[in-house]
Amino acid sequence: MYNIAVIPGDGIGKEVMKACINVLKSLDIDFNFTYGEAGDECLLENGEALPDTTIELAKNADACLFGAAGETAADVIVRLRQELNLFANLRPVKSYPNTNALFNNLDFMIVRENTEGIYVAKEEEYTEEGAIARRIITKKASKRIIDYAFQFAKNNNKSKVTGVHKANVLKVTDGLFKEVLYEVAKDYEGEVEVEDFYVDATAMYLITRPESFEVIVTTNLFGDILSDEGAGLVGGLGMIPSGNIGEDGALFEPVHGSAPDIAGKGIANPMAMILSASMMLNYLEEYEAEENLNNAILTVLNEGKVLTPDLGGTATTTEVGEAIISALN
């Protein structure tokens, strides 16, 4: 039996999580789901956005599913990643049918460093006219995430890793990241190729030749921005799952936020949440269940009859979940 921590969070997080859990319950796997609170509503009700009980729940689980957070995202999901030492953020960019994807042949992974960079939120007032934010890049964290990216490429039949940085301007911090990239690449010589681009060039290449990427590895903020750009290539944020992986735990979440403009309407796309659950199955080494779930998702998308409004359909969140369950059965 797998103990799964479930943190629905705010807004559409609750709606897509419900559909996701129903799908997981239809699998022939023994899950024990335990729920925790976090987010804007939790802050209002309990005085804190991320209670210690929720952190402990996530730490003691075999894996964690997270829905979405609103204004408290930095206090919730960023802190959870840090508390659980989830150093690798995996954000796949993959084309699916009937999703308004701009390209129909994309299948690459963005591997984002999750524990440092500008998102450590070390900010302070500097003068009355401005402020300072510290950007922390260490050799240890850079080596860990870059090695993870190369291992991911090797294990998933990818032949190339692209390092993304801004070393021409951030000569010390991103200079270090680029240096470590090529140090680690030596360990995979003859197995995985390496290249590197500046982040601004990469943003352009994602539009002009995205099919050339296989695995991108980059720092925290750059990875966050580029993965949202990747979402625009393949039908929007409703189609982008993610996994946060550490040495002793993992958390899986859709890339989208709480979407207060559509929360409560029952029309949120649950695909990113359910695809995140599929990534969880892979992490748990339930490979057959992962394949079956991915095939069921593909069946529903290929048929194109049960799609939420963001994909041009009229289906509800619940109806999409039920369609996937029917395809599984």
What does the pLDDT look like over 35-62, one tens digit per residue?
A: 999 999 999 998 999 999 999 999 999 9
pLDDT of residue 249: 92
Question: Choosing from 75, 174, 196, 224, which is the catalytic residue?
Answer: 224
Question: Choosing from 119, 148, 158, 174, which is the catalytic residue?
Answer: 119
Question: Choosing from 25, 122, 126, 200, which is the catalytic residue?
Answer: 200
pLDDT of residue 235: 86
pLDDT of residue 120: 78
Q: Is 119 labeled as catalytic in the residue annotation?
A: yes
pLDDT of residue 148: 97
Question: Choosing from 166, 174, 196, 310, which is the catalytic residue?
Answer: 166
**Residue 84: band (very low, low, confident or very high) from pLDDT cuts 50, 70, 90:** very high
**In the predicted model, is pLDDT for residue 125 greater than 80?**
no
Using CA atoms, how far residue 238 sits from 5, 61, 65, 261, in Å, is 22, 26, 16, 14
pLDDT of residue 27: 96
Q: Which domains does the chain have, with CATH numbers?
A: 1-88+240-329 (3.40.718.10), 102-233 (3.40.718.10)
* Average of per-residue pLDDT across 193-209: 98
Paired with 250 in beta bridges are 245
pLDDT of residue 123: 82
In 3D, which of 145, 120, 146 has the Cα closest to residue 133? 120
**In the predicted model, is pLDDT for residue 118 greater than 90?**
no
What residue type is assigned to position 122 of the chain? K
Q: Is 228 labeled as catalytic in the residue annotation?
A: yes
Question: What is the model's pTM?
Answer: 0.92
Helix (H) / strand (E) containing 46: helix 40-46
Using CA atoms, how far residue 123 sits from 84, 120, 126, 133, in Å, is 22, 9, 9, 4
**In the predicted model, is pLDDT for residue 213 greater than 80?**
yes
Q: What percent of the chain has pLDDT over 90?
A: 88
Per-residue pLDDT tens over the stretch 253-292: 999 989 999 999 999 999 999 999 999 999 999 999 999 9
* Two tokens, residue 33: 């789901």
241: three-class secondary structure by DSSP? strand
Question: Choosing from 62, 107, 147, 228, which is the catalytic residue?
Answer: 228
164: three-class secondary structure by DSSP? strand
CB 66 within 8 A of CB 251: yes
Residue 58 burial by Cβ neighbours in a 10 Å radius (0-12, 13-18, 19+) = buried
Q: Is 14 labeled as catalytic in the residue annotation?
A: no
Sequence-distant (6+) residues with CB within 8 A of 225 are: 199, 203
**In the predicted model, is pLDDT for residue 189 greater than 90?**
yes
* Average of per-residue pLDDT across 107-136: 87
**In the predicted model, is pLDDT for residue 126 greater than 80?**
no
188: three-class secondary structure by DSSP? helix
Per the model's pLDDT, the better-predicted residue between 129 and 184 turns out to be 184
Paired with 218 in beta bridges are 112, 164
pLDDT of residue 121: 72
Q: Is 75 labeled as catalytic in the residue annotation?
A: no
**Residue 119: band (very low, low, confident or very high) from pLDDT cuts 50, 70, 90:** confident
